[in-house]
Amino acid sequence: MHNNYDLGIIGGGPAGYTAALHAAKQGLNVILFEKEFIGGVCLNKGCIPTKSILRASEIYKQTLDASKFGINTENVQFDYTKVIERKNNTIEKLRKGIELALKNAKVDVVYCEAQIINKNEIKANNEIYKCAKIICATGSSPKIVKGLEFDNEFLLSSDDILNLEKLPQSVLIIGSGAIGIEWARIFSNFGVETTVVELAQHLLPLADIEVSKRIERIFKTNKIKFYTQTTVEKIENKIVTLSNGDILNPEIVLVAIGRTPIHVEKIDSVNYIGDVAGEIQLAHYAIKQAIENVDGIKFDKNLTPSVVYGTPEIAWVGKREQDLDGEDYEKSFVLVSSLGKAWCDGETDGFIKILSQNGKIIGAHIVSAEASALLQQLVIAMQNNITVDKLKETCFPHPTYSEGVFEALF
């Protein structure tokens, strides 16, 4: 290891490690600083651990419901310590994979806190590293709101919730973005009494209005209680008073009101990518930013897909119906219950909705099994200006959820 590099990167999350690997592939001399774990929030405290726990909760719930498929199961139980053990193993395997990729790419990795001194110098371990170019990808942290400060015991952040050793009897989730929705599903699947409080008019307020309404219907079916247009007025002695006067007594509270970029003093000519940039806080957006920054491959930020996991999945891209108020547009709507594959799988809840203008797709909103995969077909079409008529020429396999996309073109 030396002190002169073509590229210095602070932060080893999706933005940082992607930038490092792509730059190394170009033959650049790269150093990466990470104060904790390679993989960042996404791998260690976000996407991956949450999806691992979510999957366990879904298997448990599906097993309880197996009789409708003619499969008899008795005395079904789960061991939450093993759920967490599997989650930790998954993180470790994936982390080791990224660490090995960085090693093979000959990226120097320094595990310590680092500070950008100027556009060409990084200070770490009381040493100065000279870099022709610097990328800052220091990420974000759970947002703190007055009156809802985390105490790591009763008021928990999305980081804290991953460290629970056993499940509570009841939980209150404040906020119904992706984190709130996914954890509501996890807790509910495991039989925890779950309540969600949302300030906006509908759950998952960033989604298309019809998606939000469908989630509310699904929550009601799953006996997940929720309040909209409601706030937490006060919390005293673990008793929660809502703005509508209702009083709740949950065992724990998950504060899921988003994340805030790590505060850094911005320096000219330093590239800020990922969550710290204060734009779209999604791992795939961070990865695309890194590739754009290093390889110069542009991408349309307006076509960044959003996915909320669970049963059924929720995915969308582009314009929402409420964004098109007063504009001329076409809307097609296919119920998942019209698809043979959905009935075979017992996954009939949801819809595929496509919005178009002048023969081109401008928005897609899907609530369905495999929604994340279905949406990507439409993202590719939108990215490449493929018209609805041209898409109609494509042969879709049967029986699949994909043919719902095909039917939505007519």
Question: Which residue, 331, 389, 405, is CA-closest to 363?
Answer: 331
Domains, the chain, ordered by start: 4-141+260-295 (3.50.50.60), 144-257 (3.50.50.60), 312-407 (3.30.390.30)
Residue 2: pLDDT band with limits 50, 70, 90: confident
SS3 270: coil
Looking at residue 348, its pLDDT comes to: 97
pLDDT at position 344 over 90 = yes
pLDDT at position 1 over 70 = no
Question: How confident is the model over 201-216, as pLDDT tens digits?
Answer: 999 999 999 999 999 9
Q: What gap in Å lies between CA 187 and CA 198, rounded to an integer?
A: 17
List the beta strands (DSSP E) in 168-228: 170-174, 193-197, 225-227
Looking at residue 152, its pLDDT comes to: 87
Contact 30, 6 (CB under 8 A): yes
Looking at residue 289, its pLDDT comes to: 97
Share in percent of the chain as helix, strand, coil (round to 5): 35, 25, 40
Which whole number is the average pLDDT over 331-340? 97
pTM: 0.95
pLDDT at position 317 over 80 = yes
Give Cα separations from 182 to 25, 222, 307, 309, 406 (angstroms).
36, 13, 10, 6, 28
Question: How confident is the model over 230-239, as pLDDT tens digits?
Answer: 999 999 999 9
CA–CA–CA angle 388, 391, 393 (5° rounding): 125
Question: Which residue, 373, 348, 374, is CA-closest to 214?
Answer: 348
Question: How confident is the model over 59-116, as pLDDT tens digits?
Answer: 999 999 999 999 999 899 999 999 999 999 999 999 999 999 999 999 999 999 999 9
pLDDT at position 32 over 80 = yes
Question: How confident is the model over 267-314, as pLDDT tens digits?
Answer: 999 999 999 999 999 999 999 999 999 999 999 999 999 999 999 999
Q: What is the mean pLDDT of the chain?
A: 96
